[in-house]
Homo-oligomer: A and B are copies of this chain.
Amino acid sequence: MDITFSTDPKLSLLLPFIYFAWQDDVLTKTEFDALSNFINTQEWLTKAEKTFLKSKINFDVPPSRLELFHWKEKIDSTLKSTTNINNLTELGFLIANAERPTFTEDEINKTGPVFAQLEAGLGLMGSEVIAGFRKTTTTLTHSQNTVESFNVQKMTALLDGSQAEIINKVKALIGSEAFKLDIPTDVTEYREKVLHWCQILADNDLSSYAYPVAQGGKNDIEGYFAIMETLSYHDLSLVIKFGVQFGLWGMSILSLGTEKHYKKYLKDVGTLALPGCFAMTETHHGSNVKGIHTTATYNHKDRTFTINTPEKYDRKEYIGNAANHGEMATVFAKLIIDGKDYGVNAFITPIRNKDKSAYHGVVIEDCGHKMGLNGVDNGIITFKNVIIPYENMLDRFASVSESGEFQSPIPSDNRRFFTMLGTLVGGRIGIPRSALAAAKTGLATTIKYSDKRRQFGPEGGQEVPILNYRMHQLRLMPYLANSYALTFALQHLTKRFVNRKEEEMQEIEALAAGLKAYSTWNARNTLQECREACGGKGYLSENRIDNLKNDTEIYTTFEGDNTVLMQLTAKNRLSEYRKQFSGMSVSTIFNYVVGQAKTVVAEKNPFATRNVDETHLKDAAFHLNAFQYREREIVSSGARRFKKLVDDGLDAFDAANIMHPHMLQIADSYLDRAVLEQFQIKIQETEDEPLKEVLTRLYNLFALNKIEQHKAWYLEQGYMEGVKTKAIRKLVSQLCWEIRQDAVPLADAFNIPESCLGVIATTKIAQA
């Protein structure tokens, strides 16, 4: 009779090893050598048995598919019989004994170690292999699902705050049939559609919220920002066209002009009867707008200004509303009186006639196809000595007197220019809020899809929703936390701007510039992660991540290039830092320095730097300390470093060049701290317990994730040791795991109109 595993049960001892060697791999040389040596050296095997076993590890005659099936069945039924198996040897004994009890306790004790050596020789981790063999259908990974721990409507109310009414009005409109998101690939068609949408918004009294009541407005700038943000769940070309017409064009008149301009223009701007542009950027001067070359030459004889483009690349470029629809523009130009340059001022200049033909002396070109926002008609404008009347100068901050002399309450050209820009800081509030809404739309789509989409699972078990994978949670949950954090921070910025006092203006400008960069970069990162997390589905236009991503891509550039804006913010922080000391006497400074040193000593004591207690790691005071410490250290080391570079004889411009990366860190650490504080305040204000709890989880994730991102810096400083940064990493992962259960409700709380979400978010996907 031939030898088989069944007829010679003790051979089954080797069955798990042989199965393992073949199972998902071809038999490797190492495996062959280990098994074959083992078989050769076993005295308890007969020659025939050895021959049989070696026939089962023959490269040229692998076991048949059915034989493998059969072996697997034996392994499975044995594993089912007991959970107490730790390695392949034990498994082998049990299979052998199940066939026919052949081994005594004594034999097992004697043979065991020999097999253990084989196991080691094969490089097997016994318990892992056994775990891999087991078919599992109910794992922790499977059991995760959506559990709503709080009331979604209450969360929406908390997020919308005082603006709920106008937000709901806008949502109803963009969710309606007229706003169906069916984006034409044809650029001309797209632009007309967007113009039409703007008209509907104007007809619904949503365009002139920020204007004076006398001009049909509501004098409600907070409402204007809420509208712009809410519109951003919908098409972003619409948002930018809306922002150019009613924001930039209208607000430049409101901020830089005076009553006569309001009366003459604002009503028509608000109804869209007078489409216009904001013409600042030139081909050669984008970031450095102070350096623009367009001139407005005053002619005292007839009291006119001549607007002119001196050289080709001094043309106005990238001007929204210019290529097709704009009829007038606020043009920024250097005012020249009697050959003297009085710096940049603003002038209302016609660019098109009512029949849409170009105004005499104006040449308009189309910027051409763009990466996104193709529903916005960006154009290039060249002025060939266009003459405009005296009253077209926007004269709030500077004017030309009756006698033809320049007059202004702000003597420095620089300062006047920045004061003018400052009044236009609204754009740096609208854009980050718009970016946040786009990020939320992408996140909601991705989270809702990931909760349904199943892929992979344990051998033989059900596939698992991809949102149950730790990696997927780590990719998305921190952005969900960021989106909540930024909601509160941007509302805070808006309120500060609306209620601003003159002396706070510089700080608010710095905060707005910084948060514009912070929020638009966050949107860029969020949408990138969403695109990848949705896989191929994230690449289909019907799921909107496509347009959301490409449209907001330019947000990091326009309204101030992010890198440049961060420098502005940092400059303000450095200057504030220096001023802190200016009013102080020597003894005050001494006490201040001693105080700081004490804090640092307290923060850097070995207990604190190694404290991995969860209560400590989740303590808001610890977070605030860590954020403040980073902010303070980076700004003060920045000040010292700059001074040293200059003291060492470097030109200030060269020193500033070297400092750029440091400056970015100054701004970033300031913004992190500012955003953290607002999140803390919002939680303190929240009374509903379930809301407070879930917000606290999000808050902890936000705070710890930021610390984790900057851990290299904290380690370099000795503010934390490795043991603590590792504990923080673990806690971040744990928080992601916990928040996953509430992820869908947290996305639902954004209350984004269903029509604005990707198709994958709303289609019920059948179980695979």
Evaluate contact between B132 and A285: CB separation under 8 angstroms.
no
User: A541 within 8 Å of B by Cβ?
Assistant: yes
Which of B136, B470, B554, B711 meets A658, CB within 8 Å?
B470
Please judge, given known A-B contacts A411-B64, A456-B287, A582-B121, whether A655 and B368 are in contact too, CB under 8 Å.
no
Evaluate contact between A287 and B535: CB separation under 8 angstroms.
yes
Which of B287, B471, B554, B578 meets A661, CB within 8 Å?
B471
Evaluate contact between B556 and A532: CB separation under 8 angstroms.
yes
User: A581 within 8 Å of B by Cβ?
Assistant: yes
Q: Which residues of B contact A639 (CB under 8 A)?
A: 125
> A124 CB to closest chain B CB, in angstroms?
8
Evaluate contact between B536 and A654: CB separation under 8 angstroms.
no
Q: Which residues of B contact A38 (CB under 8 A)?
A: none
Please judge, given known A-B contacts A370-B541, A579-B30, A582-B123, whether A660 and B469 are in contact too, CB under 8 Å.
yes
User: A134 within 8 Å of B by Cβ?
Assistant: yes
> A339 CB to closest chain B CB, in angstroms?
14
User: A597 within 8 Å of B by Cβ?
Assistant: no
- Please measure, in the bound complex, the distance between the C-alpha atom of A229 and the C-alpha atom of B368, giving whole angstroms: 29
User: A139 within 8 Å of B by Cβ?
Assistant: yes
Q: For chain A residues 567-611, which have a beta carbon within 8 Å of chain B?
A: 578-583
Evaluate contact between A411 and B65: CB separation under 8 angstroms.
yes
Interface window among A2-10, A216-224, A712-720? A712-720
9 tightest A-B CB contacts, nearest first: A123-B582, A131-B652, A716-B722, A712-B712, A471-B660, A284-B768, A458-B653, A715-B715, A369-B541
Q: Which residues of B contact A563 (CB under 8 A)?
A: 471, 532
> A406 CB to closest chain B CB, in angstroms?
7
Evaluate contact between B286 and A455: CB separation under 8 angstroms.
yes
Evaluate contact between B415 and A26: CB separation under 8 angstroms.
yes
Please judge, given known A-B contacts A554-B539, A582-B34, A652-B134, whether A409 and B715 are in contact too, CB under 8 Å.
no
Evaluate contact between B30 and A125: CB separation under 8 angstroms.
no
Interface string of A316-345 (1 = CB under 8 A from B): 011000000000000000000000001000
Evaluate contact between B546 and A370: CB separation under 8 angstroms.
yes
Interface string of A281-317 (1 = CB under 8 A from B): 1001111100101000000000000000001110001
Residue of B nearest to A468 (CB): B657
> A560 CB to closest chain B CB, in angstroms?
11
Evaluate contact between A540 and B62: CB separation under 8 angstroms.
no
User: A252 within 8 Å of B by Cβ?
Assistant: no
Q: Which residues of B contact A542 (CB under 8 A)?
A: 368-369
> A371 CB to closest chain B CB, in angstroms?
4
Which of B24, B120, B368, B726 meets A540, CB within 8 Å?
B368
Please judge, given known A-B contacts A128-B652, A653-B136, A716-B722, whether A557 and B536 are in contact too, CB under 8 Å.
yes
Q: For chain A residues 641-694, which have a beta carbon within 8 Å of chain B?
A: 642-643, 646-647, 650-655, 657-658, 660-661, 664
> A529 CB to closest chain B CB, in angstroms?
11
Evaluate contact between B536 and A342: CB separation under 8 angstroms.
no
Which of B468, B654, B660, B733 meets A140, CB within 8 Å?
B654
User: A85 within 8 Å of B by Cβ?
Assistant: no
Evaluate contact between B313 and A768: CB separation under 8 angstroms.
yes
> A301 CB to closest chain B CB, in angstroms?
23
Please judge, given known A-B contacts A127-B643, A469-B660, whether A652 and B132 are in contact too, CB under 8 Å.
yes
User: A503 within 8 Å of B by Cβ?
Assistant: yes
Evaluate contact between B411 and A141: CB separation under 8 angstroms.
no
Q: Which residues of B contact A535 (CB under 8 A)?
A: 286-287, 557, 561
Q: For chain A residues 698-712, which have a beta carbon within 8 Å of chain B?
A: 711-712
Q: Which residues of B contact A550 (CB under 8 A)?
A: 371, 550
Interface string of A67-91 (1 = CB under 8 A from B): 1100000000000000000000000
Q: Which residues of B contact A716 (CB under 8 A)?
A: 711, 715, 722, 725-726
Interface string of A534-557 (1 = CB under 8 A from B): 011011111001100110011011
User: A152 within 8 Å of B by Cβ?
Assistant: no
Evaluate contact between B29 and A128: CB separation under 8 angstroms.
no
Which of B22, B185, B470, B528 meets A412, CB within 8 Å?
B22
> A310 CB to closest chain B CB, in angstroms?
12
Q: Which residues of B contact A561 (CB under 8 A)?
A: 532, 535
User: A461 within 8 Å of B by Cβ?
Assistant: yes
Q: For chain A residues 18-46, which have a beta carbon within 8 Å of chain B?
A: 22-26, 28-30, 33-34
- Please measure, in the bound complex, the distance between the C-alpha atom of A540 and the C-alpha atom of B318, giving whole angstroms: 10
User: A63 within 8 Å of B by Cβ?
Assistant: yes
Interface string of A111-125 (1 = CB under 8 A from B): 000000000111111
Q: Which residues of B contact A24 (CB under 8 A)?
A: 412, 414-415, 418
Evaluate contact between B722 and A30: CB separation under 8 angstroms.
no
Residue of B nearest to A659 (CB): B470
Evaluate contact between A541 and B368: CB separation under 8 angstroms.
yes
> A677 CB to closest chain B CB, in angstroms?
24
User: A213 within 8 Å of B by Cβ?
Assistant: no
User: A98 within 8 Å of B by Cβ?
Assistant: no
Evaluate contact between B546 and A371: CB separation under 8 angstroms.
yes
